[in-house]
Structure 1
Amino acid sequence: MYPYLDHDGPIAMAHRGGALHPDNVGYENSMHAFEQAVGLGYQYLETDLHATSDGVVVAFHDHRLDRVTDRTGVISQLPWSEVKKARINGHEPIPLLTDVLEHFPATRLNLDIKADNGVLPAAAVLRKAGAIDRVCVSSFSQARVKRIRAELGERLATGFGEQEIARIRFSPFRFDSPGACLQIPEYYGRLKVLTSGLLRRAHALGKQVHVWTVDDPATMHRLLDAGVDGLITDRTDLLRDILIERGQWP
């Protein structure tokens, strides 16, 4: 068992800090949102990673600054000296991964690497911070997942890459993966990704299944009843209330 997954009951994960909590709208992936989630009692935060042109790792979802900040431009093409001037919703600075690790030393982080140039800088930050045991690193890119595993070794918890998810979902043959967990949507477009068969196969392999992004109370109940190991949500308030109601809040 990875230390990251050592948790009593279903894992509740604050997606981008809980981007749709009423107090966080417009402040996704900001220290404001992360502090709100931790204040509610969340022990797991989900965030995304990009690296600037000079290799500084930031907690931010989009490739561009445009959608959620008062600046424009592609993060990987800008130095940190420019990116640090951007303000989320016109007010909050973009956090460094280093800052998030230091500010929440008892909190576990789920890190989604969004671009190839972020892999090595992120590995360097995690190694220097001694944070390998309290993070899980994932990516849509199988290549990025393989590379971060190679950089940080078997102690690191990682999500399944896209090829591994496809194999466990569609192949009738048993296979193993160094990944610690599947972090998947229930549906991807019209394709049903999460099935009872996938859940059984994952659990037979000793892998957890975390489902994103679940914001509807009825769906939260249904997935928890089905036996998923964690939910990743923008509505941190609703998931907390449901887990309290079920006697599963930590």
Structure 2
Amino acid sequence: MTHPWFHAPAPRVLAHRGFVPPGATDFVENTLAAFAAAHAAGASYVESDCHLTADGVVVLFHDDDLTRVAGDSRAIADVRLADLRHIMADRGELVTAAEALSAFPTLRFNFDVKAAGAALPLGRLAGRNADRVLLTSFSDARRRAAMEAAHAAGGTPATSAGQATVARVLAAVATGSHALVRRALRGIDALQIPERAGALRVVTPRLVRVAHAAGTEVHLWTINERADMDRLLALGVDGLVTDRADLALAAIAAHRGS
């Protein structure tokens, strides 16, 4: 049975950290304004990153610290929520994971657990909103901790593979054994991967075929050029994680009309 997170037909656009239109200078990524812009552009899915504040609140923020976004070297984990709100007030407004789910009830969220401390509180929140959340992390340990917390809270979010699981999947694909691929993908709803990792080509027609045969979607990150979008859609990928939700939505519309 398909998880309710996948309510819209594939291929799907995952607005990477929301959407900051080209030329916009009044707000930044992973803010209330960026998520509102993604929603206004027509995106049904938003990808975001989760950290924990000094007072234990899960906030949507990519980096470990404020240096790049606000010119402040403090770590997110060392700053209280109220102070983060003040810092981000003129940058599009900080938003917590709970606030994002409440403010955008029609959006599905792809939450990436960036900090180990965020896994349990985010998992509990995801368990209460399981139909609208996909949990992921580069760390399979963080992903599993969040999923276990979600189950304890009464829900089963969708999930995508961490790096160790992706490595097992790629090794299984190389053997040509569908049984090994299915075993590696057990419990995994989506593979969210780059097209390449250095010199290694990660996404191949074979990988897409065997993932689909196992009932798992393939989402590619971070795809920002229209030509790449068209090429990957033709290959059969199910999702584009992108900073250019506007371009990706147009590419998918053209793909469906072709």
Q: Same fold (TM over 0.5)?
A: yes
* Deviation for aligned residue 1:98: 1.4
Cα distance in 2 for partners of 1:148, 1:243 equals: 32
Which has more helix, going by share of residues?
2
Cα distance in 1 for partners of 2:92, 2:156 equals: 34
Cα distance in 2 for partners of 1:23, 1:239 equals: 18
Which residue of structure 1 lines up, in the alignment, with residue 138 of structure 2?
Answer: 140
Code of the residue aligned with 1:43 in structure 2: it is S
Q: Is the 8 A contact 1:168 1:202 kept in 2?
A: no
**Stretch moving more, 192-201 or 58-67:** 192-201
Code of the residue aligned with 2:54 in structure 1: it is S
Q: Is the 8 A contact 1:139 1:145 kept in 2?
A: yes
Among 173, 188, 192, the alignment partner of 1:183 is 192
Which residue of structure 1 lines up, in the alignment, with residue 3 of structure 2?
Answer: 2
1:63 has 2:64 as partner: yes
Residues 92-120 of structure 1 deviation map (CA, whole Å, 9 limit, x = unaligned): 22111111111100110111110101101
Gap regions ≥5 residues in structure 1: none
* Deviation for aligned residue 1:19: 4.1
Residues 105-142 of structure 1 deviation map (CA, whole Å, 9 limit, x = unaligned): 01101111101011012123334xx3111110100001
Cα distance in 1 for partners of 2:124, 2:10 equals: 32
Give the TM-score normalised by structure 1.
0.91
Which residue of structure 1 lines up, in the alignment, with residue 225 of structure 2?
Answer: 216
Q: Is the 8 A contact 2:14 2:240 kept in 1?
A: yes
What are the within-5 Å matches in structure 2 for residues 36-185 of structure 1?
Answer: 36-87=37-88, 90-127=90-127, 130-153=128-151, 155-171=156-172, 172=175, 173=177, 174=180, 175=183, 176-185=185-194
Which residue of structure 2 lines up, in the alignment, with residue 203 of structure 1?
Answer: 212
Code of the residue aligned with 1:100 in structure 2: it is A
Which residue of structure 1 lines up, in the alignment, with residue 35 of structure 2?
Answer: 34
* Deviation for aligned residue 1:25: 8.2
Change (3 A) 1:99 1:24: farther
Change (3 A) 1:86 1:72: farther
Q: CA RMSD in A?
A: 1.9
* Deviation for aligned residue 1:200: 1.8
Cα distance in 1 for partners of 2:227, 2:92 equals: 33
* Deviation for aligned residue 1:219: 0.7
* Deviation for aligned residue 1:20: 5.6
* Deviation for aligned residue 1:69: 1.9
Code of the residue aligned with 1:190 in structure 2: it is A
* Deviation for aligned residue 1:14: 0.6
Cα distance in 1 for partners of 2:228, 2:116 equals: 33
Equivalent residue of 2:15, what SS?
Answer: strand
Code of the residue aligned with 1:188 in structure 2: it is A
Count of residue correspondences: 245
Equivalent residue of 1:86, what SS?
Answer: helix
Equivalent residue of 2:67, what SS?
Answer: coil
Percent pairwise identity? 35
* Deviation for aligned residue 1:162: 1.1
**Stretch moving more, 183-192 or 64-73:** 64-73
Cα distance in 2 for partners of 1:31, 1:79 equals: 18
Give the TM-score normalised by structure 2.
0.88
Change (3 A) 1:43 1:187: same
